[in-house]
Structure 1
């Protein structure tokens, strides 16, 4: 039996999550899906220029796992660029401490474990979830306190 996959620590979420080659209609092109942790690996290594050990430590994985993640990410990116594919940033197996999320309906406060937790509360399934900082403001605003 295989060992369960560890969550990878992520400290960044992009605002733009879909990229299409210029001049090609979205409906006519293939796409690749880049996982959130793959983007994080490239960000740490290629933008912040950390070494493999530092990157692995930040993502809370082994050096070999980090290398596997970044190799897969780079292969996907090169494929998209050379073959003119769209790039969707979505999904993965990650956790973050950047922001706790609050469910407006049930009040559950939680750290996200998967990308879908940003869209639905893991307790009640409500889609009314916000970053806790925004949720506090929203709740106060709705009550007329802001």
Structure 2
């Protein structure tokens, strides 16, 4: 039996999971720009090595410490990622990022870079204990209403629910985080569920990877939306991502369900 892969720690789900050549035609459902053009598929953990080594200029040893894998494993993953990136650039092929063996960081104490981690800072700033039987619901929030553009959300209203009733609520600033990083904010706040209006496909994937259940396309009063959810009047929905804004955000629209679990109360490794 082959040895199982070690779960690799990743800071955030990639905010832009699909890249397309500019002159290759119209994007299809699966991220391929033209009929017969095969996409290059890079895993999330491969992407993380590119981000840490090339983006943040960490050494391979430092990258391994951050991802909780050996330097040898980093070398193999990084080499695979660079080869795929070169193939996409040189051959003009679409690049799609997803899957792999990874676990999203939640800003926990064991994070080697927690001094620079916004999730860890959020956890320290908002230390409200979350009981074992408490569900934590986040709502994109503006002036009492469900804010309609997830990627530009400046505040979440957080509701703690126990036995079907709201026992506490608090408005939390996102501190300038946007788009893909907002899923990390919610993970740092230990949210289980998100209610929002419009949302891009890349953010949908980030929420799925964080194990956060999504109720999209919701409008009106935020408190009433939570009441409606608890009464069973709205159902989970991740298909409202393209109805409230245009596609010019670098997010993929459609073909985004991977069923991942992550730091929103889960700690399994994605495979």
Matched with 1:102 is: 192
Rounded to whole Å, the distance in 1 between the matches of 2:223 and 2:105 is 24
SS state of the match for residue 24, structure 1?
coil
2:60–2:71 Cα contact (<8 Å) kept: yes
Aligned match of 1:8: 8
CA distance in 1, matches of 2:54, 2:71: 16
Equivalent residue in structure 2 for 1:68, among 76, 82, 98: 76
Provide the C-alpha distance between the structure 1 equivalents of 2:15 and 2:210, rounded to a whole number of angstroms.
18
Provide the residue aligned with 2:213 in structure 1.
129
Q: Which residue of 2 aligns with 1:86?
A: 94
Distance in structure 2 (CA, Å) of the matches to 1:141 and 1:52: 50
Partner of 1:118: 208
Distance apart, 1:116 and its partner CA: 9.6
1:27, CA displacement in angstroms? 2.7
Aligned residue in 1 for 2:47: 39
In the TM superposition, residue 41 of structure 1 has moved relative to its aligned partner by: 0.4
Report which structure shows greater RCO (CA 8 Å, sep ≥6): 1
Instruction: For residue 101 of structure 1, report the CA deviation from its aligned partner.
Output: 5.7
Contact preservation (8 Å) 2:13, 2:104: no
| Distance in structure 2 (CA, Å) of the matches to 1:143 and 1:101 | 14
* Cα displacement (A) at 1:140: 5.0
Deviates further, 91-100 or 81-90: 91-100
SS of the residue corresponding to residue 3 of structure 1 reads coil
Q: What is the TM-score when the length of structure 1 is the normalising length?
A: 0.71
- Aligned structure 1 segments of 4 or more residues deviating by more than 3 angstroms: none
Q: TM-score when scaled to structure 2?
A: 0.40
Tell me how far 1:89 sits from its aligned partner.
0.8
Q: Structure 2 stretches of 5 or more lacking a match?
A: 26-32, 107-186, 195-204, 215-221, 228-271
Q: Which structure's residues are more often helix, by fraction?
A: 1
Call closer, same or farther: CA 1:64–1:101 in 2, change over 3 Å. farther
RMSD: 2.8
What corresponds to 1:50 in structure 2?
Answer: 58
Distance in 1, matches of 2:191 and 2:77, equals: 26
- Aligned positions, number: 121
Aligned counterparts of 1:119 and 1:95: Cα–Cα separation in 2: 8
